[in-house]
Amino acid sequence: MEIIKVENMSFSYSKEEIFKDFNIVINKGEWITILGHNGSGKSTLTKVMIGLLKKETGIIKINGIELTEENVYDVRKNIGIVFQNPDNQFVGSTVKDDLAFGLENLCLAHDEIEMRIEKYLTKVNMLEYKDKEPHNLSGGEKQRVAIAAVLSMEPEIIILDEATSMLDPKGKEEVIEVIKNLSENNTVITITHNLSEAILSDRVIVLNKGKIVLDGKPLAVFKETEKILSAGLDLLPSMKIANKLAELNYQDEELKGILWELNSKM
Amino acid sequence: MNVIVGRYINRNSWVHRLDPRMKILSLIILMIGTFMTSTLINMLWILAGVFLLILTSKISLLNFIKSLVPLLFLMTFTFVFQVLFNKQGPIISTLTLNLSFITILLNVVVIIGYQILKRFRIRGFFWFLLTFAFIIYLYTLNLGTPFKIINLNLYRDGLTFGLFLLVRIIILVSASSLLTLTTKPADLNNGLERLMKPLKVLKVPVDEMSMMISIALRFIPTLLDEVNKIMKAQASRGVDFASGNIKKKVVQIVSLLVPMFVISFKRADDLSNAMEARGYFPGMERSKFGILKFRFSDYLTILFSISFLVGIVYFDL
């Protein structure tokens, strides 16, 4: 079942054309990774999808409802976005208040808000930080709060727009762990320029200059090394090694000898 | 980095537990009260009451004195002005100033000493005041042969009215300090929002204003962090923030302000995107998570405040 459908969408910043007749269909329950280098339009795509930026032409359907200027606020209830900078999306003065902000926007009652805060902070393992202020949290912790805040609004689709790019390795790991759990029950779209984050997802889309270059299962996509490189992306370390080895064209016995040598040096 | 936003000091006292709305209302009533009082005695009674509140709030008196320090100049100015120029009522005493060569010489010595001490970071208004008082004291001593004698008359009303104004300033400042010291900024904001709610009828954007205040409060530590980073970045490029004359200081400030503005606007842009993505738009109907509830002590406080105001009016007129 398709949950997001973009048809013939065009969009441009004042002069620069970003998308022209862009099409994409995303199915319910999928975990999709959108890959692309800086300026490939990957972040713009999400902003257009929830109406933060206004499309010029085309149709965007979220959960079967067409996005128009009138229903933009209703459509947004179906999508939650976690942005890149953990500091700039923390609205409340404490962790609890930050979650409450989104829930207040949904006009929920006090008890319901309390219950959801408890539930979703547990989900991201941040319950004991409930009363902490943002400047006492690490980047990874803040980002987990941001995910909890988005989750607590119970959207159908969760978009993570480079949510891990400003985190240290530990923070990254924490957040990816949370995303992995999410993807079991939700439609998740992660946006990144890092191929290693894409491996776990169900489907990978590579964007370049506002066009889909590759679309498919991660392993199938990763095989197209030339297209990935021409899209301005970096290959996986393991793929780099594989390519290099293929170039050197070792015979079996020869390779074994070299590996033995390296192993004894370690 | 651990920045304290606002001046809130966490203690467990009945003043802390009071509802912020009640505290704000009581403060307003107290302020009206001090402006309706017209005698020094009544004003001193109110001061005693405020002092009692401060004692029961379990917050060190030092914090209140600190909040009075920036107003030291204003307080002295008001007092001295009244004493010098208010010439009503009987004369209580006369200050005789003897201008002789020795006293003037000593005066110059004291001023030079003051200027030298100032270099050793002993400065501030308090020291100035002390030096000034000492100079006046020098002139009252009968040293050498005076070539001119000035008589300064001290009038009773000037003195009492000067004190009256002084006490009023002290009451106003320490009472407002009591409010900000015992209430978290977020609670204060919340209380203000509730109190201003009736203004919504007049199309005052109360919700938006309180949202703005709460975001501003939330971003103070983040922006301070940012200022630190920029200062370090600029220092590494050779900007010296520690010294320089006024012209250089302006350049320093500009080198700090420009990147600060650019970053703040970027942040504001991101934040507005994040807020909109989470379903917020200005003027929307929202529910309220933080519930404020009046308790028995709150009702008691407001009852006391109102009876205080009635008492003031009764005794004063």
Non-local (6+) Cβ contacts of B206 within 8 A are: B193, B196, B197, B199, B200
From residue A99, alpha-carbon distances to A40, B287, B317 in Å are 32, 13, 54
CA atoms of A53 and A56, how far apart (whole Å): 10
Inter-helix orientation angle B72-85/B156-182, to 10°: 160
CA atoms of B220 and A108, how far apart (whole Å): 29
Measured in angstroms, the CA of A82 and the nearest CA of chain B are apart by 8
Read off φ and ψ for residue B223, nearest 5 degrees.
Answer: -70, -35
- Give percent above pLDDT 70 in chain B: 97
Instruction: Residue B213: list chain A partners with CB under 8 A.
Output: none
Indicate if the pLDDT at residue B317 is higher than 70: no
**Residue of A104, A108, A162 to mutate, testing the B interface (most B Cβ within 10 Å of its Cβ):** A104
Measured in angstroms, the CA of A109 and the nearest CA of chain B are apart by 7
Looking at A69, A133, A154, A162, which residue is catalytic?
A162
Confidence at residue A128, expressed as pLDDT on a 0 to 100 scale: 92
Whether B133 contacts chain A with CB within 8 A: no
Which one of A88, A93, A100 has the shortest CB-CB distance to B289?
A100
Q: Band of the pLDDT at B1, cuts 50, 70, 90?
A: very low
CA atoms of B44 and B42, how far apart (whole Å): 5
Which one of A89, A135, A149 has the shortest CB-CB distance to B271?
A89
Indicate if the pLDDT at residue B6 is higher than 70: no
Instruction: Say yes or no for a CB contact (<8 Å) between B274 and A83.
Output: yes
Whether B11 contacts chain A with CB within 8 A: no
Confidence at residue A152, expressed as pLDDT on a 0 to 100 scale: 92
Confidence at residue A210, expressed as pLDDT on a 0 to 100 scale: 84
A154: exposed, middle or buried (Cβ count in 10 Å: 0-12, 13-18, 19+): middle
Instruction: Say yes or no for a CB contact (<8 Å) between B278 and A149.
Output: yes
Confidence at residue B3, expressed as pLDDT on a 0 to 100 scale: 43
Indicate if the pLDDT at residue B241 is higher than 80: no
- What ipTM was estimated for this complex? 0.84
Which one of B267, B277, B286 has the shortest CB-CB distance to A104?
B286
Instruction: Say yes or no for a CB contact (<8 Å) between B274 and A91.
Output: yes
Instruction: Say yes or no for a CB contact (<8 Å) between B222 and A87.
Output: yes
Q: What is the mean pLDDT of each run of 10 residues along chain A (266 residues)?
A: 87 84 89 87 86 87 86 86 90 90 90 92 89 87 91 90 84 85 87 84 89 88 85 83 83 84 84
How far does CA B285 lie from the centroid of its chain? 36
Instruction: Say yes or no for a CB contact (<8 Å) between A93 and B217.
Output: yes
Concerning whether A162 is annotated as a catalytic residue, the answer is: yes
Instruction: Say yes or no for a CB contact (<8 Å) between B222 and A150.
Output: no
Q: For B85-128, write each residue's pLDDT tens digit.
A: 888 888 888 888 888 888 888 889 998 988 888 777 666 777 88
Q: Band of the pLDDT at B166, cuts 50, 70, 90?
A: very high
Instruction: Say yes or no for a CB contact (<8 Å) between A110 and B287.
Output: yes
Angle value at C-alpha B170, between B165 and B176, nearest 5 degrees = 125
CA atoms of B284 and B255, how far apart (whole Å): 39
Which one of B2, B277, B288 has the shortest CB-CB distance to A76?
B277
Q: Alpha-carbon dihedral of residues A184, A187, A192, A196, nearest 10 degrees?
A: 30
Whether B263 contacts chain A with CB within 8 A: no
Instruction: Say yes or no for a CB contact (<8 Å) between A105 and B225.
Output: no
Q: Looking at chain B, which residue has its C-alpha nearest residue A71?
A: B279
CA atoms of B83 and B91, how far apart (whole Å): 11
**Residue of B278, B285, B291 to mutate, testing the A interface (most A Cβ within 10 Å of its Cβ):** B278
Which one of A87, A89, A153 has the shortest CB-CB distance to B279?
A153
Which one has a higher pLDDT value, B177 or A196?
B177
Restricting to B residues 180-219, those with a Cβ less than 8 Å away from any Cβ of A are 185-186, 214-215, 217-218
CB B169 within 8 A of CB B75: yes
Instruction: Say yes or no for a CB contact (<8 Å) between B289 and A90.
Output: no
Mean pLDDT of B177-184: 90
Q: Looking at chain B, which residue has its C-alpha nearest residue A146?
A: B274
Instruction: Residue A80: list chain B partners with CB under 8 A.
Output: 277-278
Which one of B221, B285, B290 has the shortest CB-CB distance to A135?
B221
Mean pLDDT of B187-205: 88
A140: exposed, middle or buried (Cβ count in 10 Å: 0-12, 13-18, 19+): buried
CA atoms of A23 and A10, how far apart (whole Å): 10
**Residue of B3, B222, B289 to mutate, testing the A interface (most A Cβ within 10 Å of its Cβ):** B289
Q: Looking at chain B, which residue has its C-alpha nearest residue A154?
A: B278
B228: exposed, middle or buried (Cβ count in 10 Å: 0-12, 13-18, 19+): exposed
Instruction: Say yes or no for a CB contact (<8 Å) between A102 and B279.
Output: yes
